[in-house]
Every structure is written in structure tokens, then in C-alpha cells.
Amino acid sequence: MSLLETVGLDAFYADMQALFSVSIHLEEATTTAVIGPNGAGKSTLLKSIMGWVSVAADHIKFEDRSIGGRPPETIVASGIAMVPEGRRLFPSLSVEENLLMGQESGRKGAWNLRRVYDLFPDLESRRQSPGTNLSGGQQQMVAIGRALMSNPRVLLCDELSLGLAPTIVNGIYETLADIQAEGVSIIVVEQDIQRALAAASQVYCLQEGRVALSGGPADLSFEQISAAYFGNAP
């Protein structure tokens, strides 16, 4: 049984349909990557799971319960958290205050400030600094730490590498592996195909709101992925 899955998921922005019968599966303590070009529907998929886009209840299941269309705060309290594209830190709050916002759901678990600072040592010395005064990589650490503070079973990560130097991105992805090793399941949206293949045990390629290709990285050829990514799959 999948921990989290979408089942024939359709999603709309007003009259515009953004996702067409998208089905993906996330197993316990694994990482699933979602790749595809800009506008393929990757972020809409994560927003739908988080309740930021209204969808039919039975199109999203978590722990075998239908959760589609529930309010975002209910989704977080159930055990799903998101690291949004662009980090979205609160500029008026310090690093530590931004992290503590992750506790608002009241969900209990092992993740707390001490564990986050152990995971990201750079943040502890900057704990009283405004969150937006940090480097891009450090801000991404705060965004991940804030999500972990809600003690999720599933972590949704939207474009973690966007705008960051390759060496910083390498460190972020190494940390994701550590987080998965703690039992957290991860869905990562990524435009960097090679990085996605290296991080995940299952990959889905979206093209124009549809699943164009899926499978394990070892089972997919570069030609198949390229054809699906650029929209010329047979």
C-alpha cells in the first residue's frame, strides 16, 4: 500500500485545467522525483496535495484515507509538509522564529530546534538574524527546517535547487538523504534530470499536465526521458 498517492488527479485554475488524470505513488521512507519542463504541472501537483488547489476528495489518498480538498492546515496536521518554491520565509521574523512557525500544527514527533540545528549547523549561529538576510542556500535550510518542525511523514520539496550554486545544491540533497534515513518520505520536484534520477527510487515526468513517463531510474533510458520531457514521446 502506498503511503501517499494521487488517483486520476484533475486540477483546475478557474476554467483552465492544469492536471489531467495524474496518478503517482510514494512508498514509505523513499524519495519520488517529479520532473518536467516549466508549465508541466509539477508545482500544481504539490499544491493540490497540500490543499492549496481544490481537488476532489478521492483523488488524493494519504495512509489510505481520502484527503483531497482538505484545508492546508488539516493536511499539515495529518503529517504532510511542504518546502515551497522560493522558500517563502517571513521577512519580519528571525531564523529561529521562522523555524518555530513549523510547530503551529501542534503535531508531535522527534523534530525540534535542536535536531534542526544539528542537521543545519550554519543556522544556529544565525538564529537571531532575519531569515531573509541569509544566503540563498541558508534560506533553503530554514525552509526545510521549518517544514521538519511540523514532524511530517511526507515532505514535499518544490524546486530546491532553483537559483543555488551546484555545491550548495549538493549539500541540500545530501541532507535530504539523511532526512529520508530518519523515515520521512519525500516528493521532490526538480528540473535537473540527473539530480532527480540520483536522488529518487521512482521518477515521474509530467508534460502538459499529464504523466508522460514513469519508472525507476535504472529502468528508464536517457532517450525515453528526453522524449517525455520535451514532449515528443511516441
pLDDT along the chain (234 residues), means of 10: 94 96 96 94 97 95 95 95 89 94 88 95 93 89 95 95 88 93 94 90 96 95 90 63
Cβ-Cβ contacts under 8 Å for 223 (sequence gap 6 or more): none
Count of all residues that appear for the chain in the document:
234
84 found inside a domain? yes
Whether residue 163 is contained in a domain is answered as yes
Q: What is the pLDDT of residue 233?
A: 54
> What ranges in 128-186 are assigned the alpha helix state H?
136-148, 166-181
Number of domains in the chain: 1
Q: Confirm whether 46 is domain-assigned.
A: yes
At 86 the pLDDT is: 79
Which alpha helices (H) appear in the chain, and where do they start and end? Answer: 42-50, 72-78, 95-100, 113-119, 121-124, 136-148, 166-181, 193-199, 222-229
CATH label of the domain that carries residue 222 = 3.40.50.300
Domain that holds residue 170: 4-229
| Predicted structure pTM score | 0.93
Supply the angle between the helices 166-181 and 136-148 in degrees, to the nearest 10: 10
